């Protein structure tokens, strides 16, 4: 039986960063991946495919040019599911190639198969041809990620009633789609399909959506969705979903309303993919959503030599944060020095339009009793916005009245997920309003919105104490 310093289960963002970090420390590392190719949900069914689909949709529809040429403007008239998929495969192949090269360069051994614990220090790997091999290690990192939540009351058929993995396999673009769940994934797909001129209904049992974001930003976003004709059914629990025939589905809502649609996308939550790990054998337990509990600083589970990182430990469930968690978990697992990540990380939602946010929301600032002032800029106030034909998009910053420090930065609109990093840097470096007021920004850029928003806040702030 081969023995390793570290065995990593899963090759998604958390697993791959953990493995490469361990290899850089000169340790023997084995990564086990049950998928056909390395990369995890991030490369194959989540982050990269959905972002590629979004980019393709925006390019083929000419979405970004419609501010100038009108809502009827199209780059390609009839966009097919094939058009959307073509670019997907090229991008994914490239991502896998980069990853395989990274593993090879760093001498990380990879093995295809499904891992399960035999005892606390041994795992068994079931290969494709039914072969079973055993491996032992001093340390383990569980980075198995999540899979879509598929409740019994949803009659998934892989064709018209789909989860967020299956939606990528659509063979025909529907005329209508109902998305159940207005979380990040649901909202991203709902707005991508709407950009493709598919009639979208977004169903959400709660009264609002994305409530971890700054509420003013969400209101702005909701306004835009309504303006585009997306039907929002908030506060609507799903009673029953029925397929009457091909592309003929019906959703009965608890308030008696009906949604008739070609395709249903069920995107209400994900479950930790821990079911096949036989965790009893190593003394670990999961919660009701299959997730593992870890120490927030070290990512150590309650079994000393087993660590876990990425989506399997829950919030924030992002590829970006999973990578950092994996790297830090590897440092702690191997007794190497690890630095805590900075306090604030950005959250990116690749809806159409994008949303990105870092730091405290206005609601959080209020709740903590911090005296504050906000500054807002609309993208249409910037010259770059005019050039690009943007009629929507806003940037909001929140500053402490006492220290003048930036407390939070919230953006909705074109380029939000890139722009947010300016706010992130100032926030984590404990910068103040003066940074934005006193610095020169490239002109014309959307980043100028930072200066405009800062000046907006400055107008209402008391003068700086000398």
Ligand X SMILES: Cc1cc2nc3c(=O)[nH]c(=O)nc-3n(C[C@H](O)[C@H](O)[C@H](O)COP(=O)(O)OP(=O)(O)OC[C@H]3O[C@@H](n4cnc5c(N)ncnc54)[C@H](O)[C@@H]3O)c2cc1C
Q: Site for ligand X (CB under 6 A): which residue of 42, 56, 191, 361?
A: 42
Distance (Å) of CA 300 to CA 6, 56, 119, 205: 14, 40, 18, 35
Q: Which of 438, 341, 360, 451 is nearest to 400 (CA)?
A: 360
- Do residues 265 and 180 lie in contact, with contact meaning Cβ atoms separated by under 8 Å? yes
- With CB under 6 A as the contact rule, which of the stretches 131-139, 225-233, 313-321, 442-450 interacts with ligand X? 313-321
Minimum Å distance from CB 294 to ligand X?
12
Helices (H), 239-388: 319-333, 362-367, 383-388
Q: Is 192 in the site for ligand X (CB under 6 A)?
A: no
Sheet of strand 238-245: strand arrangement: 238-245, 248-253, 258-261
Q: What is the CA radius of gyration of the chain?
A: 24
Minimum separation from the CB atom of position 404 to ligand X (A): 31
C-alpha closest to that of 121 among 5, 289, 264, 246: 5
* Span interacting with ligand X, options 209-217, 250-258, 307-315, 433-441, rule CB under 6 A: 307-315
Residue 244: CB atoms within 10 Å: 9
Q: In this chain, which of 6, 19, 23, 41 binds ligand X, going by CB under 6 A?
A: 41
**One symbol per residue from 114 to 133: x for binding ligand X (CB under 6 A), - otherwise; what is it?**
xx------------------
Judged by CB under 6 A, which of 30, 144, 271, 426 binds ligand X? 144
Residues that contact ligand X, how many (by CB under 6 A): 39
The nearest distance, CB 71 to ligand X, in angstroms, is 26
> Which member of 6, 14, 294, 449 binds ligand X (CB under 6 A)?
14
Window 348-367: residues binding ligand X (CB under 6 A): 348, 350
Nearest Cα residue to 450 out of 397, 400, 371 = 397
Between CA 423 and CA 430, with CA 428 as vertex, the angle to 5 degrees is 95
User: Residue with structure tokens 């997306």?
Assistant: 230
318 binds ligand X (CB under 6 A): yes
Closer of 92 and 407 to ligand X (Cβ): 92
**CB distance 418 to 393 below 8 Å:** no
The Cα 27–Cα 83 span in angstroms is 44
Nearer to ligand X, 32 or 433 (CB): 32
Candidates 220-228, 247-255, 315-323, 448-456; binding stretch for ligand X (CB under 6 A) = 315-323
CA distances for 452 relative to 114, 375, 380, 394, 403, angstroms: 53, 8, 11, 11, 20
Give the count of beta carbons closer than 10 Å to the beta carbon of residue 260.
Answer: 12
Distance CA 218, CA 202 (A): 15
Rounded CA gap, 432 and 458, in Å? 11
Q: Contact letters (x/-) for ligand X, 243-282, by CB under 6 A?
A: ------------------------------x--xx-----
> What part of residues 204-243 is at the interface with ligand X (CB under 6 A)?
none
Stretch that binds ligand X, among 82-90, 100-108, 319-327, 402-410 (CB under 6 A): 319-327
Segment lying near ligand X (by CB under 6 A), choices 36-44, 250-258, 388-396, 439-447: 36-44
Residue 52 binds ligand X (CB under 6 A):
no
List, edge to edge, every strand of the sheet that includes 355-359: 347-349, 355-359, 406-412, 394-400, 372-378
Q: Give 13 or 67: the residue with its C-beta nearer to ligand X.
A: 13
3-state secondary structure at position 115: strand
| Residues between 381 and 410 with contacts to ligand X, criterion CB under 6 A | none
For ligand X, the closer CB: 143 or 178: 143
Neighbours of 74 (CB within 10 A): 16
Least distance in angstroms from the C-beta of 153 to ligand X: 21
Least gap, CB of 388 to ligand X (angstroms): 22
Query: Which residues contact ligand X (rule: CB under 6 A)?
Result: 9-15, 32-35, 40-42, 46-47, 50-51, 114-115, 143-146, 164, 185, 273, 276-277, 310-312, 317-320, 322, 348, 350
């Amino acid at each position: 039986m081969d023995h390793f310093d570290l065995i990593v289960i899963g090759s998604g963002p958390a697993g791959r960063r953990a493995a490469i970090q361990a290899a850089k420390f000169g340790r023997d590392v084995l990564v086990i991946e049950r998928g056909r190719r390395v990369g995890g949900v991030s490369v194959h069914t989540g982050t990269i495919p959905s972002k590629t689909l979004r980019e393709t949709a925006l390019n083929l529809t000419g979405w970004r040019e419609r501010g100038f040429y009108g809502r009827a403007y199209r780059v390609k008239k009839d966009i097919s599911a094939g058009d959307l998929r073509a670019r997907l495969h090229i991008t994914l192949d490239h991502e896998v190639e980069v990853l395989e090269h990274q593993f090879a360069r760093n001498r990380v051994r990879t093995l295809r198969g499904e891992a399960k614990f035999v005892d606390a220090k041994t795992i068994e790997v079931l290969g494709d041809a039914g072969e079973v091999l055993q491996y032992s290690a001093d340390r383990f990192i569980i980075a198995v990620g999540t899979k879509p939540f598929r409740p019994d009351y949803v009659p998934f058929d892989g064709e018209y009633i789909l989860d967020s993995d299956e939606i990528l396999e659509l063979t025909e673009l529907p005329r209508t789609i109902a998305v159940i769940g207005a979380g990040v994934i649901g909202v991203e797909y709902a707005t991508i399909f709407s950009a493709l001129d598919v009639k979208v209904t977004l169903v959400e049992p709660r009264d609002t959506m994305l409530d971890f974001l700054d509420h003013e930003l969400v209101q702005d976003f909701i306004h835009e969705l309504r303006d585009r004709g997306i039907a929002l059914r908030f506060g609507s629990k799903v009673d029953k979903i029925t397929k009457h025939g091909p592309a003929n589905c019906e959703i009965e809502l608890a308030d008696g309303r009906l949604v008739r649609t070609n395709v249903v996308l069920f995107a209400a939550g994900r479950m930790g993919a821990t079911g096949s790990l036989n965790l009893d054998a190593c003394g670990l337990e999961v919660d009701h959503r299959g997730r593992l509990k870890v120490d927030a600083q070290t990512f150590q589970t309650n079994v000393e030599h087993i660590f876990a990182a990425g989506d399997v430990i829950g919030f924030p469930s992002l590829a970006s944060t999973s990578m950092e968690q994996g790297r830090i978990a590897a440092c702690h697992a191997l007794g190497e020095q690890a630095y805590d990540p900075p306090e604030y990380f950005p959250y990116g939602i690749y809806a159409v339009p994008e949303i990105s946010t870092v730091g405290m929301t206005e609601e959080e600032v209020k709740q903590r009793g911090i005296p504050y002032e906000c500054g807002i800029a609309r993208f249409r106030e910037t010259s770059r916005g005019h050039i690009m034909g943007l009629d929507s998009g806003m940037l909001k910053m929140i500053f402490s009245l006492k220290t003048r420090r930036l407390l939070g930065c919230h953006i909705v609109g074109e380029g939000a997920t890139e722009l947010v990093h300016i706010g992130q840097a100032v926030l984590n470096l404990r910068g103040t309003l003066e940074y934005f007021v006193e610095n020169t920004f490239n002109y014309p850029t959307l980043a100028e919105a930072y200066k405009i928003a800062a000046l907006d806040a400055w107008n209402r702030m008391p003068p700086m104490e000398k």
